[in-house]
Amino acid sequence: MHISAKLQAAAKEKKATYSFEFFPPKTAQGVQNLYDRMDRMHNFGPSFIDITWGAGGRHASLTCEMVKVAQTVYGLETCMHLTCTDMPKSKIDDALKEAHDAGCTNILALRGDPPREKEKWEATSGGFRYAKDLVKYIKETYGDHFDIGVAGYPEGCDDNDNPEELIQHLKEKVDLGGTFIVTQMFYDADIFLDWVKKVRAAGIDVPIVPGIMPISTHAAFLRRANWSNIHVPPHWHEALEPVKNDDAAVRDVGTGLVVELCRKLMDNGIQHLHFYTMNLAQSTRMILEELSITPSQDTPLEKPLPWRQSLGLNRRDENVRPIFWRNRNRSYIARTQDWDEFPNGRWGDSRSPAYGELDTYGIGLKGTNEQNRKLWGEPKSFGDVATLFANYMQGKVESLPWSESPITDEADALRKDLINLNQRGLLTINSQPPVDGAKSSHPVYGWGPRNGYVYQKAYLEVLVSPELISELITRMERNPNITYFAVNQHGDLKTNSPDEGPNAVTWGVFPGKEIVQPTIVETVSFLAWRDEFYRLGSDWSRCYDATSPSRYVIDDLMQNWYLVNIVNNDFREQRGIFPLFDELEVPDLNKEVTAPEAPQKVNGATNGEKHEEEPKVGNGDITDSKIPDSVHKKLETQINVAEEKPDTEPKDATAHNTGAGPSTSV
């Protein structure tokens, strides 16, 4: 969606909105850390984010890659900065195409700062001299696809301090296609508000977004203010000087000052605030919370669907997904990125989704072996694993190999039962409680348009030991409301599902619309998830030495235990699933395992040697006769068509324009 349309809609509702700026980090670990932070900051409810261009126009691939990930994986409406610096027209074309193909519909067009090795800015041969030339080119080439933002300078820029001349340049950019304005940082509200009046008097009527820089340390505050050559009100210095050596106190005092600034802007009709986050969350979060404009119980974050919607090209209308990837959104996006179309309205029975191969997309555990051992400990028994899972359910552990984020509030209704199952060695992987007509505005279960009602069937995914699987299946078969699938690593599939079509486990009823069924359970998708599930478990075991008890325990889980998903089709029954497990407990749960001294055969190979490949159920050759023929036919179509993409991450990516807002642009 275009940013200008978002801003205009919020202005009509007189609703306070905000956005965040990020810049490309220098290291691969920094990029991953930033992705994690962007994922968390999505819950703050930003209207959009923007990502700055690489230093001096270089390292464009990292900016483009980050735009793609933010847009497609995290569902963040993203604006890509694009500068003229060191950018011939061919590179401009490449960047615009990448943004377009990622589903990005917003560009902030800038002249850019001079390269670090040059004192003055010079146009690149075959490139553009001014930001207005770039605006004109984008508009001529892509028409209305891109909303084009331009930079505004309330206090001048480094090579022009003539306010009237800068406003005239701004009008030229808007007249050529600019649809919204993002300003340089400032700390004096009166200067900004006076500048807005002059801009409006010049006939410029597009939305104006003020750039807000949080204060984290005193040194950084002074450096950025001096670099941007902006006026700082005297009382700001008076408030910060006494605490300048105490970073926590500076942050607290600075938050109060910036909140004061923001309130004055909002009192004067400015509805949107744009935060230069410096890739950090805390200072921005403190300001938003003090302003009381973040999502809350009374004003929950609006969710179009129960899962994180992708804004990638051709995915904006996607509204049906299998539940299995609920806690691994990025993996699902990666494994389905080559689909020609995405389910909208229904997951057709005739559909045969081809899930990309795991190796192709690098889908594995995050973090190093050492980091994962520190996070999940070194289990010496099945009981240790059970304790780890129970701790996750209690919020004591932030993630599991199959769940990349902390447990959510939705689990509160099931938490006691989930903890109890895990303590008995029944390892829960995924779940949702039954919901019978909650308002679509419900702070936990709500999603979709206003004045609607949402429903859920109870769902549980659990890893079950071979000693208990037969008894559990017997119990499930006796209950007419229960449908289940159980499969092990070797493809031994058991189910009582009456057909192979999808079973909707989440749906919503909204005024003037057809019933929406966004989450389903379905055979082929479950088997594709099975491959990923056991692969992740195998990756986890390889975080430990080949002869360690931890390696032995986790390998046993992966080689012998069954992955079971259970649906209670009576959505009004609150605890229909959990009685199935009454009095079931893994025997000798806390008995410590002694790993064999000699190397043992695992999957036909000696530990530490190359393992034979497992049958590629769901991704390639189908060799397991235990899977029904009808499912074989679907799976056989899943030949991976995606070519492995080269690593586009620059080795020495550096941040560009990371301190004060839009690059110099006239």
Which residues have a catalytic role annotated? 21
Give the Å distances, CA to CA, from 289 to 41, 54, 138, 253, 537: 13, 31, 37, 15, 39
Those residues with Cβ within 8 angstroms of residue 549's Cβ, 6 or more apart along the chain or in another chain: 378, 379, 380, 381, 592, 593, 594, 595
CA atoms within 13 A on the CB side of 579: 9
**Residue 31 CB: number of other CB atoms within 10 A?**
18
For residue 118, the tally of other CB atoms under 10 A from its CB is 12
Sequence-ordered list of residues with C-beta below 8 angstroms from that of 93, at least 6 positions apart, any chain: 141
Separation between Cα atoms, residue 600 and residue 622, nearest integer Å: 27
Distance between terminal CA atoms of the chain? 27
Q: Return the structure tokens found at 335.
A: 């494994």
CA proximity to 410, closest of 430, 389, 426, 381: 430
The closest of 300, 305, 303, 301 to 519, measured between CA atoms, is: 305
In whole angstroms, how far apart are CA 240 and each of 211, 281, 458, 541, 637? Answer: 21, 21, 54, 51, 65
d(CA 628, CA 295): 47
Angle at which helix 382-393 crosses helix 415-423, to 10 degrees, equals 170
Which of helix, strand or coil describes residue 288?
Answer: helix
Q: Is the CB of residue 164 less than 8 Å from the CB of residue 199?
A: no
- DSSP assigned state of 413: G
Pairing, β 106-110 against β 147-152: parallel
Which of 593, 519, 587 lies closest to 556, judged by CA? 593
CA gap 86, 122 in Å, rounded:
9
- Whether the CB-CB separation of 160 and 118 falls below 8 Å is answered with no
Tokens of 493: 């599939």
Provide the β-strand partners of residue 509: 453
In the numeric block, the tokens 């890893």 are attached to 463
Beta bridge partners of 567: 459, 483
> Which stretches of 461-585 are DSSP H helices?
466-478, 523-541, 549-560
SS3 521: strand
How does strand 516-521 pair with strand 503-509?
antiparallel
The SS3 assignment for 108 reads strand
Q: What is the CA radius of gyration of the chain?
A: 27
Partners of 148 in the β-ladder: 107, 178
Other C-beta atoms lying within 10 Å of the C-beta of residue 608? 11
Contact 41, 71 (CB under 8 A): no
